[in-house]
Structure 1
């Protein structure tokens, strides 16, 4: 049986969130973000040079095995909604939970690579869900990415898993079988032995098996996608979403109960979500004012990247600002980079960001009902922007 680690300082204590769910939140790279989770885990395991940016090592002294579980869509602001259906989750959040931020944009591909590399999005270059391939009019969807562009070229930063393995740590990645070998998996998780798990039960079994397989330092990274999927399809607090929250709770209970005495479990997420009502939806394909001057539309509904015709940036920015009004901020690329949303952005990654970046406020979104897959515009919940509901994620720490 495992027990939560009771925090002994304000740095890791449960922290009340003092902003509203629709207020903007900046990513806290370097000590309070998803990028800091694996470096801190490696420091616990004694990997030379690993930075314990989250202050975990004093509380996890003697831990030789670390499991990191990322629950897709489990935002900090969604935990109270899930609590009636997920008592284990609620108890851990109340006793050993603290909020972190994901990176920007608050979307799955960006966050998976941020977790895996321990770096901000600007550094690793996976700066959105859909990104224009520089020098072309092609839009790369990172969730449908095989080997073009070549993953090691598109995302050249070594992963924390590679670093751990080089230091003698046994490293295993457990995720859905269909994700094995994908471009996104290679970009985020190269360096780990891959184990397929088709559902929550298989995920728990595979993670615990890998965690207990040897006697040396061990790192296991697991991924569970269903809460996010049901939020997208049915909305937050829908019956399918509640059932998915209950499933997450059972997964957590199994992992907590199965932890060896020299192990720790870190639970986090890639982003939160919010429902987008029909009245707050704009349609790029149905509004000639939004289409004018835009050569390539990328990003996703809550954060749009506009690659424009030469010399058209100011006119396009003015048109989008007029149409969207208070529903979004429209920034030129250099303005968006200067906010620090992406962290430092090297020259080779700059053109993956749009000439203009449109970040939705409140519960607004910009759909593309004809130029993107139809299902993308039929979802209920979305994420990607910088509101607290989307950006704020949990870190739960349990040790055996």
Structure 2
């Protein structure tokens, strides 16, 4: 166990030069929430194998169970395939088929009419692990990524706001500027929730780049969005999904019917449609729940319904914005920031979400906060400074992170492994009560399908 009550003196070296006087048996060992790791595993690059990333680079220490595990090296963290196989490459690869300039190494066969069906929370591993619930989608797995039978990566963090912005703009998070669930708004000094857009921030100031949809519409491609009516005027829609016609349909079956109808309206068409409830049920009940399973069945039926209505010369791409893992409600799996004086010492604001944290330090404390978080989380997370995370390509390829976005990224960036999360039960009670979580770099969260149907 590595809980606050078992720890001794402070580890913020500049605030107190004492080291914690704990015996090894009080600090060490793999967390009970994690499975045993293969010491030979090196998770770079991130591809379609493995589920929840677990790493041990020092098997002798891990095997002892009586010493502190060596903190994970952020250089070993899987990096999204920006430029060749991430969500930000999807629309540029599609619109290249319409003769628009391509800014990606991802190559997809052209089609006159293209529909993108994005299912919130549809991870590659969760789909592959439930073939009996989704027979139609499972039958399409060999078509994924232009017939390679491989997934795409989402980008970091693997969360809805960042992923939808990556899809819509064709840019990685470090360029479009939505690098997490909650990040610092430098002009106000408060946390900005980029999914709910709270507190209000002018959308076009926060994300000034035009969407791929808008560029396609300007190039003469019939562009349309079909989604739930409540999403039509949200700021996230404004910055990520604007361009062309909007059609709101509350009923999911009516939604896919409308998407097929929009696709048939022109010789060259790009249609986007969205389904949210798989993710919501995963958060509330977990991906090991009957509610989530019923949602996967629903998604499978909707995808089949849409595929059966495709007009001639069409391509349908079915993808997700992230996967998900279930986090046990145990002290070993949930580090509570609000109850852990070591994690909270020197921290001005805690951003991100349970599986991917942006940690903003008080002035002068960044090095100490980084050291403490690495020590406390040890083999449960990759912990990097902002400079390390940017240089390693977490938020985009070298040079992609824009200057306006840099201060939104935490002084310390945390990507969880295994089945652990950093929660905040008092300041984030709703988020801390979730069963299913996402955001990190593990294959279960990062990998999403790119299933294809053509007529």
**TM over 0.5, shorter chain:** yes
SS of equivalent residue, structure 1 residue 305: strand
What is residue 427 of structure 2 aligned with on the other side? 371
RMSD: 1.7
Distance in 2 between residues matched to 1:153 and 1:16, nearest whole Å: 35
Alignment partner of 1:99 out of 151, 162, 173: 151
SS of equivalent residue, structure 1 residue 74: coil
CA spacing shift, 1:392–1:358, aligned 2, 3 Å: same
**Rg comparison, structure with higher value:** 2
Give 1:192 deviation, angstroms.
2.9
Distance in 1 between residues matched to 2:178 and 2:47, nearest whole Å: 31
What is residue 310 of structure 1 aligned with on the other side? 363
Alignment of 1:328-367 (within 5 A): 328-343=381-396, 344-367=400-423
The answer to whether the Cα contact below 8 Å between 1:179 and 1:185 also exists between their aligned partners in 2 is yes
Give 1:146 deviation, angstroms.
7.0
The answer to whether the Cα contact below 8 Å between 1:43 and 1:52 also exists between their aligned partners in 2 is no
Give 1:110 deviation, angstroms.
0.1
Distance in 1 between residues matched to 2:403 and 2:440, nearest whole Å: 23
1:319-367: CA deviation from partner (whole Å, max 9, x where unpaired): 2223222212221110111110111211111000011112212111000
SS of equivalent residue, structure 2 residue 132: helix
The answer to whether the Cα contact below 8 Å between 1:129 and 1:142 also exists between their aligned partners in 2 is yes
Distance in 2 between residues matched to 1:221 and 1:95, nearest whole Å: 19
Distance in 2 between residues matched to 1:395 and 1:362, nearest whole Å: 25
Give 1:109 deviation, angstroms.
0.3
Establish whether residue 238 from structure 1 lines up as the match of residue 295 from structure 2: no
What is residue 127 of structure 2 aligned with on the other side? 79
The answer to whether the Cα contact below 8 Å between 1:264 and 1:399 also exists between their aligned partners in 2 is yes
Establish whether residue 141 from structure 1 lines up as the match of residue 193 from structure 2: yes
Q: Which moved more, 1:256-265 or 1:19-28?
A: 19-28
The answer to whether the Cα contact below 8 Å between 2:113 and 2:313 also exists between their aligned partners in 1 is yes
What is residue 221 of structure 2 aligned with on the other side? 169
What is residue 110 of structure 1 aligned with on the other side? 162
CA spacing shift, 1:98–1:192, aligned 2, 3 Å: farther
Give 1:271 deviation, angstroms.
0.7
The answer to whether the Cα contact below 8 Å between 1:28 and 1:101 also exists between their aligned partners in 2 is yes
Establish whether residue 190 from structure 1 lines up as the match of residue 238 from structure 2: no
SS of equivalent residue, structure 1 residue 84: coil
Alignment of 1:20-99 (within 5 A): 20-22=51-53, 24-44=77-97, 46-51=98-103, 53-57=105-109, 60=110, 63-96=111-144, 97-99=149-151
Establish whether residue 160 from structure 1 lines up as the match of residue 216 from structure 2: no
Alignment of 1:210-359 (within 5 A): 210-212=262-264, 214-279=265-330, 280-343=333-396, 344-359=400-415
1:76-97: CA deviation from partner (whole Å, max 9, x where unpaired): 1111233211110110114454
The answer to whether the Cα contact below 8 Å between 2:165 and 2:176 also exists between their aligned partners in 1 is yes
Distance in 1 between residues matched to 2:325 and 2:305, nearest whole Å: 28
The answer to whether the Cα contact below 8 Å between 1:113 and 1:126 also exists between their aligned partners in 2 is yes
Distance in 2 between residues matched to 1:284 and 1:303, nearest whole Å: 13
The answer to whether the Cα contact below 8 Å between 2:317 and 2:452 also exists between their aligned partners in 1 is yes
The answer to whether the Cα contact below 8 Å between 2:52 and 2:419 also exists between their aligned partners in 1 is no
Distance in 2 between residues matched to 1:74 and 1:164, nearest whole Å: 26
Give 1:285 deviation, angstroms.
0.7
**Between Structure 1 and Structure 2, how many residues are aligned?**
379
CA spacing shift, 1:51–1:297, aligned 2, 3 Å: closer
The answer to whether the Cα contact below 8 Å between 2:116 and 2:271 also exists between their aligned partners in 1 is yes
CA spacing shift, 1:229–1:366, aligned 2, 3 Å: same
Distance in 2 between residues matched to 1:146 and 1:179, nearest whole Å: 15
What is residue 5 of structure 1 aligned with on the other side? none
Give 1:31 deviation, angstroms.
1.4
SS of equivalent residue, structure 1 residue 29: coil
Establish whether residue 382 from structure 1 lines up as the match of residue 437 from structure 2: yes
Q: Which moved more, 1:195-204 or 1:383-392?
A: 195-204
> Unmatched 5+ residue regions in structure 2?
1-45, 55-76
SS of equivalent residue, structure 1 residue 357: strand
The answer to whether the Cα contact below 8 Å between 1:82 and 1:237 also exists between their aligned partners in 2 is no
SS of equivalent residue, structure 2 residue 270: strand
Distance in 1 between residues matched to 2:251 and 2:181, nearest whole Å: 24
What is residue 119 of structure 1 aligned with on the other side? 171
SS of equivalent residue, structure 1 residue 248: helix
SS of equivalent residue, structure 2 residue 368: helix
Establish whether residue 203 from structure 1 lines up as the match of residue 255 from structure 2: yes
Distance in 1 between residues matched to 2:107 and 2:381, nearest whole Å: 36
